[in-house]
Structure 1
Amino acid sequence: MRASAQQAPSVSDSPRSSDSPRSLPGTVTLSQVSKHFGDFTAVEQLDLEVQPGEFLSMLGPSGSGKTTVLRMIAGFETVTGGSIHLSGSDVTQVPPHARPVNTVFQDYALFPHLTIAENVGYGLRVGGTNRSDREAQVRSSLEQVRLLAVADRLPHQLSGGQRQRIALARALIMRPQVLLLDEPLGALDKQLREEMQIELKQIQREVGITFIFVTHDQEEALTLSDRVAVFNNGRIEQIGSAREVYEFPKTEFVARFLGLSNLIRSDQPGAKLVSVRPERVRLSAADAAAGPNETSFLGTVAEAVYTGPTTRFLVDTEDGQRLTAERANDDHPNAEPAFGRGDRVRVGWTSDHATLVA
């Protein structure tokens, strides 16, 4: 099977404020940063610039280097090579407590014997903030995460989502220039995690500081981020807006890791594969005519899988490849799928729905 596709449009890897000097508060710059653990290379000569007020997600599978990069920015891991600048200052050798960052972890790390208000104000108390100022800031911080009503409770009396918001309030009250989040929603169930994603993005917009978020959840990264950096084997395979990395994957790894994708052999010079997302694939009866500017193939439905909002069709083509198509379940709830196992069908897509993978 061979298919043609248009090249992805030229896009910038820099988000808003791309003209801002690297010295602005909240700017994070990594230059040729490497990290070796003995003979193992976790991160290799990585360059990354995060703009002030940006929400950047570092996305990748376990062992891809994303958490190691976060820990180096925080100062919990030393760099083997390269440099890290925060707001224009070289912090490569600066200890964690002296960096203008704060970190929110997956396990929340709340003190079980302290009230919620005491947990949130702990950093201020250690830093010597007087009681009246501390209480005012704690109140404001709890109002920001909409949990002022639980100020006198203990952590075990709160839900997982509430504890996560308290951990966020405790980090934000210190007014860091950059907030680092290490898979903070990973311990929550699916519904609560989705609710917290929207809340987290709203809070980030309100406070306006730089967020760097580590996750292995593709949907989470797409939902939250101004930009997504896709990690693989200690390097960034692609960085761009959520739409850019999903619709226009530059490598086979990005196409496969970031959602489902059909990868078809290409006959265009310099390209090995064409990537077509399942929701872009048109499914019709075998005797239907191909649409204008459409590449299409005949095949047989191998499986029709109901997923709730969509039905996923696996189609075996006449030349031996399997393609995936998805159709929204937007008709009557009792309606049967248009096609079932064994049906002959035509699968196709237009050139503007396909992307060359170099």
Structure 2
Amino acid sequence: MVTIPEVFQSRHAVAVDDASDDNDAVVPEVFRDGNDDLVPEVFQSRVAIAVDDASDGNDAVVPEVFKSPVTIFVDDASDGNDAVVPEVFQYRHAIAVDDVSDDNDAVVPEVFQYRHAIAVDDASNWNDAVVPEVFKSPVTILVDDASDGNDAVVLEVFQSRIAVSVDDASDGNDAVVPEIFQYRDDITVDDASDDNDAVVPEVFQSRDAIAVDDASDGNDAVVPEVFQSRVTIAVDDASDGNDAVVPEVFQYRHAVAVDDASDGNDAVVPEVFQSRVTITVDDASYGNDAVVLEVFQYRHAIAVDDASDDNDAVVPEVFQSRVALLLMMLVMGTLA
């Protein structure tokens, strides 16, 4: 079951048509509608949004479609595991997502602020491509998913001034290079000869050198979305088994230091951006560490203290606060 709340500040009617399938939605706070599918965070839209939920088992989820000047249409075909298209907003053209009839379909979230049409071709292989957050590009981006087993992931390639070509070679577990945009020089990603190779996404709009040191362990480092920084960002990947994940730290005015301790499953700190003060995240030595998602547009320091339980806190989407905030949530279970 999916939950899609927070449909607010819409200037036109929102129509959600939930077909007669078995696993339906839960709809809170959907204005001028019956009791249909879930569409979360569709707000500040200037045109109508139509979500057509076909009669298959596991239906589509389309959250955070807002501030769009044109109509957004999501067609969910009759296959088993359907497409997820969240956060499509601030668009200047229509968006068409065609979910082909293969088993594990494509995921295309966060495609916004585009000036040209976006075509995502999902070939007929088993594990298809993922192309989210392609926005603010002055040229058309075409992603061709070849016929190998485990295909490439190309996330958040936007605000690029030249064409982006991603060649997915014929090895078993291929490289992942997302969110490389607004660059002024060439970017070289060297994928070494180990089994599970490096992932270096979302390094963009940096004015100083960015050094990513991928040590010789089995599961290498993931450093996505470090962009629009005015100081040098150094990420040191220690020699433990499952290394650190530090995505979406951008638009910073002070240095960001992320210290990855020697525990097993390290910290995940994504989408901390547009902060005016220094943010320090200290990952202690317990088992399953904290997840702090989408803390942005803050005007004061943010301190996240992750207590010593096994499954630590999840604090998503805390933004636009004007006072200092101490977030401490102890949650048992999986991240929804």
TM-score category (smaller protein): under 0.3
More strand by share: 1
More helix by share: 1
Q: Give TM-score scaled by structure 1 length.
A: 0.22
Q: Give TM-score scaled by structure 2 length.
A: 0.23
- Higher relative contact order, chain-length normalized (CA < 8 Å, sep 6+): 1
